[in-house]
Structure 1
């Protein structure tokens, strides 16, 4: 029997929103958003980010959800159900599956770092370490192939075990619990950060508009950075969100549901900065970009903080939930693609998927040690850098452009059918007056991101 004839669905609206937000909320929210906000003028960057989230991220999010809900399948199946006869839009469905697999080839390794650090703080491994020793732990972890592979395998197997229990019994149940716990953890960590001595200075640096910092970077750079962040934060373009549209009912309009996902995603991103900046300013440590912020700067902060073992453990538990919620959401898309494209049942898709991703995750996990000589983007680069470049700079913007053109052009599904699906149900509607913007302006903005990423 065609798997689509027995399509699963979410048990509740809350389940859909929390699982979809969990897919969007990831480690990039925590180590990228606060850094670029501080770098590009604080509140000025936040205002531009929110503007572009509404102008770019939200529309493409509704498009992925609309294709999924109307097509009732993973990307390839949904395209085939909706595309005009003789067209080949469904080919993009294969790229979506490849994109999800490629994303998980390195994301499971990075998620493993979070679990590793959680247990290190929980067991007191950082107790009594000097700043240099605490900073050196990250390098020691990366250079240990057994440790790197072990945590990657744990994350991969755990993810497929959750997804193997079905949509409602596995993904929705665990996703709701993890996202609820994540939001509670954020609240606890933010309140604690507000009690630190440098809280006021850190919050001012983070959120107050600073034109000198913004103009120092160049206003064009601020706008471009905000455009990039608002777009990439939702993980659009590879069908990771689209699959959850296929599990939705039609009681509520898509602009309202998409807005709720964006709000949750933004709350987590902003709160990450509320946790990080007061802590860094309290202990005189400059917040750096990328992984060094999470794995070198913050452990130094926690080791110098009263009760640092507890706060470090709670922070990396929060990071574990943020990353693992993305893992199980993307795994669900991979499983759905395998079931629909190859006719497998869920159990077989999980077994094959787990085995494949353990093997495919090895180049990233070993790229910092045994295979460190492989430097695909030039001296000093890693396998992770290359895999991330392909996903972030090629597949996400390129895929989003395909979804957009499919939804608004006469050669695809078409604007009228897209908006009809968008506006089915109760809630905010997608207005007709956005059609010229969607057809002629938004494709150019996404193309600019694509070209910029490639250059």
Structure 2
């Protein structure tokens, strides 16, 4: 069998440092799943009780993060090139066609995600100018923004900012900006957490968070949604993490990188939770409000909070950083695919992806249409991309190859559990995520 990495020495952009790579991956993982969905799931499924299955599934997901990083690095390509080489090493054709699945999924979710980042930009501006705080009804304010063509200019601005960063490349664009945005995100949320701690009534929120309501562990939905939350939060999709991995050096340690991404991703989710849930409790609002939690409930919190104008600005700037960093990761997969498949320059590839994003995204300028679109992509394509990438790397490429590529750059010896955890537990769990997503109409 030919080596999958043969003829893969072409010059390629790369991260300047492993820290930069880790921060970029943290940026891809820290997004709406952490800030918007995680506090909602905690509120929905008994606070700390939800953390038990969540952490369990997170530990399984880390094996997949290592695999996607190592797969991209080994093939020096995103999904199209990586899948093609994996098939070629078995004397098969058609891998590139299968690789389209995670690329289309990444672009599909990015097109919708850009609309949401546009909303966040609008809320950030509204917090700065005072229009958000002055709105008589936060629900009506959000309804206007999320209504048909209610935020087109902000949507286009979000895309413009994202592509303006990406045009500078991996090291000078994505890496450099994430080195600023990710530390800033954590600092801003820590400031918010300290402020929320001083609110009268916040203690009830902490109790809800950290005193497990064990009865929820008997509910299968707690486990199902914890599974989905863990896998989606880690950005397991066979696209963004894989393509970021393709910019890694052979000496970089994917074992420690994956571990650090999981740790800081979880820390970001918990940090968001200790800001949102105690604040909601402090003012007697609904902790399980669902999607409106960030765009309606939190603005109401800031309206009632002393110096709420200041903390509203801090909150939405931090959320904006998370949104832009995730959007860059999602867009990088189709941009790299255009470079890989058609030999376009980075600028040309970004131009094509930008045109597609605008044309398709304008059709989603309605919260109801957007929700349907995001459901279709996240239910049927995102988990399928993760499953295909796992099968390609851990099965098609072979267990010896997978172990060898993950081992590169790691000073210690990989656990004997590597093969059973990756080939059976992780791949099996990813298949379960895909099936449950369809059965439940989305779990992440």
**TM-score, normalization: structure 2?**
0.93
Q: Which residue does 1:421 correspond to in 2?
A: 405
Aligned partner of 1:184 among 174, 178, 187: 187
Show the 5 A alignment for 1:5-20: 5-20=10-25
How far the C-alpha of 1:430 sits from its partner, in A, is 3.4
8 Å Cα contact 2:107/2:333 also seen in 1? no
Alpha carbons of structure 1 residues 356 and 198: separation in structure 2 relative to 1, 3 Å? same
Does the residue aligned with 1:209 lie in a helix, a strand or coil? coil
8 Å Cα contact 2:102/2:384 also seen in 1? no
8 Å Cα contact 1:250/1:425 also seen in 2? yes
Distance 1:219 1:288 in 2: 17
Distance 1:126 1:441 in 2: 47
Q: Which residue does 1:453 correspond to in 2?
A: 437
How far the C-alpha of 1:427 sits from its partner, in A, is 4.4
Deviations 1:283-333 (A, max 9, x none): 111123432001111111101111111111111111111111011122222
Does the residue aligned with 1:432 lie in a helix, a strand or coil? coil
Note the residue ranges of structure 1 that are not aligned, 5 or more in a row.
Answer: 369-381
8 Å Cα contact 1:72/1:78 also seen in 2? yes
Aligned partner of 2:388 among 394, 402, 409: 402
Deviations 1:80-107 (A, max 9, x none): 2333222433322211221111011110
Q: Which residue does 2:442 correspond to in 1?
A: none
Instruction: Say whether 1:241 aligns with 2:241.
Output: yes
Distance 2:8 2:412 in 1: 32
Distance 2:119 2:178 in 1: 20
Q: Which residue does 1:161 correspond to in 2?
A: 164
Does the residue aligned with 1:285 lie in a helix, a strand or coil? coil
How far the C-alpha of 1:361 sits from its partner, in A, is 0.6
Show the 5 A alignment for 1:306-317: 306-317=306-317
Please identify, of 271-280 and 350-359, the stretch whose mean Cα deviation from structure 2 is larger: 350-359
Q: Which residue does 1:81 correspond to in 2?
A: 85
Does the residue aligned with 1:430 lie in a helix, a strand or coil? coil
Instruction: Say whether 1:363 aligns with 2:335.
Output: no
Does the residue aligned with 1:54 lie in a helix, a strand or coil? helix
Does the residue aligned with 2:10 lie in a helix, a strand or coil? helix
Q: How many residues align?
A: 431
Please identify, of 437-446 and 4-13, the stretch whose mean Cα deviation from structure 2 is larger: 437-446
Deviations 1:359-407 (A, max 9, x none): 1111111x34xxxxxxxxxxxxx32222212222122221221122222
Distance 1:134 1:48 in 2: 34
How far the C-alpha of 1:140 sits from its partner, in A, is 1.7
How far the C-alpha of 1:226 sits from its partner, in A, is 1.3
8 Å Cα contact 2:192/2:311 also seen in 1? yes
8 Å Cα contact 2:85/2:95 also seen in 1? no
Q: Which residue does 2:73 correspond to in 1?
A: 69
How far the C-alpha of 1:347 sits from its partner, in A, is 1.3
Report the aligned-residue RMSD.
1.8
